Amino acid sequence: MAPALRTIGILLFDGVEELDAVGPWEVLSYWTRRSPEDGYQVVTFSRSGGPAACAKGLTVEAQHSYDDVPALDVLVYPGGRGTRAHVEDPAQLDWVRAQRARVPLLTSVCTGSLVYAAAGLLHGRPATTHWAALDLLADLDPTVELRPDARFVDDGDVVTAAGVSAGIDMALHLVARLAGPDRAREVRRGIQYDPAPPV
């Protein structure tokens, strides 16, 4: 019998920034579909399942709800304007703290780290977020060691990424961490990710 797949879950919610979620999805799904021998799958989920209305008008369909998502080995918490409500939602913050107790690796993109900070998960730790939200991150938890110039910050069981497109870099780092640098280079080439901005 084949061993159970380890699961990476990308959280979706109303107001999620599209690329925060879809950038990591592209990287991680390319990897898991092309290299099933590595033993990982990537899924999307939301509080109740079903559609999520993203920040810029795209609607995406979550595959699972909180209740039926497979046990997670990695959680990807994207950002977007929807995280502002999460920061002030006691039930959501309790859910995040529960994930800390059961999920080995928590990751965030952009303002997803604000939710981690509001839940007390970044206390005394290095972290980053979108450049425009660094002051808010510091306000939520003044003990956070801000890394404003980092594309992502790996602090062991928590990895935070800077804004929007930095989620792609963070996801490639996850591939390197979980399956090795050679595999990450294969994925990077496969999705033809080689930034050379025109301006």
CA distance 25 to 167: 9
CB 55 within 8 A of CB 16: yes
CB 110 within 8 A of CB 162: yes
- Structure-block tokens of residue 168: 């792609």
Residue with tokens 């979980």: 178
Task: Pinpoint the alpha helices (H) of 35-133.
Answer: 83-87, 90-102, 112-118
Helix (H/G/I), strand (E/B), else coil: 145: strand
CA distance 190 to 31: 9
CB 116 within 8 A of CB 158: yes
User: Has 54 been annotated as catalytic?
Assistant: no
Per annotation, catalytic residue among 10, 12, 110, 119: 110
Residues near 13 by beta carbon (within 8 Å), at least 6 away in sequence: 46, 47, 52, 80, 82, 86
Residue type for position 191: I
CA-to-CA separations, 191 to 7, 78, 168, in angstroms, rounded: 21, 20, 11
Active site residues: 110
